[in-house]
Amino acid sequence: MSSANAHGGRQDSSGSPGVIRLTVNGKRYEFKVGVDVMPFTALRELLRDRLGLTSLKEMCEGEGVCGSCTVLVDGRPTLSCLTLAVDCDGKEIETVEGLAESGHPLLEAFSRNYAYQCGYCTPGFIMSAKALLDRNPDPSYEDIVRGLSGNICRCGTYAAILSATREAADALKARRGGGGL
Ligand code: FES
Ligand code: FES
């Protein structure tokens, strides 16, 4: 029997350390709070430093203004630098590595459109775009601008990012038409 503890993890009645369970890109993980993960550990640190998901970037040093650390938590774009790992107990996390494994068209579209220069912002933009296309498969230009408004590209590749996102929407539509999704 377990119950939520003060730090968001679960603690059983014997007083053993709380644990958090996350599903990351379809794989299930369990971490002991206070051992594997501290109550103050940011989700970004857990994913990048512990699980080796190096797509996660930190362009604004955790100020919450750049969006380069964006991941999806239960389908919602989330700043992993400002999110405590223990608060994600029981949740599903998606990163660019998961999209690469599933062959999501956003990756090819970003590449074909040269939608990056240094590439530091790219994973965050791709995850915001993924969330947008999940909830709106046929976004207008304005929808895309709004959907990606939480992300910043210091290299100024915005026009290509918008084109890539629209191209990925078309590719997904073609797949659905062909019964692929
Ligand atoms: S690193 Fe900039 S918002 Fe998270
Ligand atoms: S490609 Fe360099 S910050 Fe966006």
Q: Tell whether ligand 2 has an atom less than 6 A from the beta carbon of residue 158.
A: no
Are 73 and 21 in the same domain?
yes
Q: Which residues contact 93 (CB under 8 A, 6 or more apart)?
A: 22, 23, 24, 25, 43, 47, 71, 72, 73
In this structure, the answer to whether residues 107 and 61 fall within a common structural domain is no
- Give the pLDDT confidence score for residue 22 in this predicted structure: 97
Say which ligand is closest to the CA of 115. 2
Last residue of one domain, picked from the residues 61, 94, 127: 94
- Phi then psi for residue 11, to 5 deg, are -125, 130
Q: What is the rounded CA–CA span in Å between residue 22 and residue 35?
A: 16
Q: Same structural domain for residues 102 and 169?
A: yes
pLDDT at 156 over 60: yes
Number of domains in the chain: 2
Ligand 1 atom 3: residue of nearest CA? 64
**How many angstroms separate the alpha carbon of residue 152 from the centre of ligand 2?**
8
Domain that holds residue 34: 2-94
**Taking residues 111-126, what's their average pLDDT?**
97
Tell me which of 122, 127, 151, 162 to substitute to probe ligand 2's pocket, judged by most ligand atoms within 8 Å of the beta carbon. Answer: 122
User: Closest Cα to residue 62, out of 39, 89, 43?
Assistant: 43
Query: 6 with 90, same domain?
Result: yes
Last residue of a domain, one of 94, 120, 137: 94
Please write the tens of the pLDDT for every residue from 56-109: 999 998 899 999 999 999 999 999 999 999 999 999 999 999 999 999 999 999
Rounded to the nearest angstrom, the distance between the alpha carbon of 109 and the centre of ligand 2 is: 16
Shortest-distance Cα residue to atom 4 of ligand 2: 153
**Residue 92 host element (H or E):** strand 92-94
* Boundary (domain end) residue, out of 36, 71, 94: 94
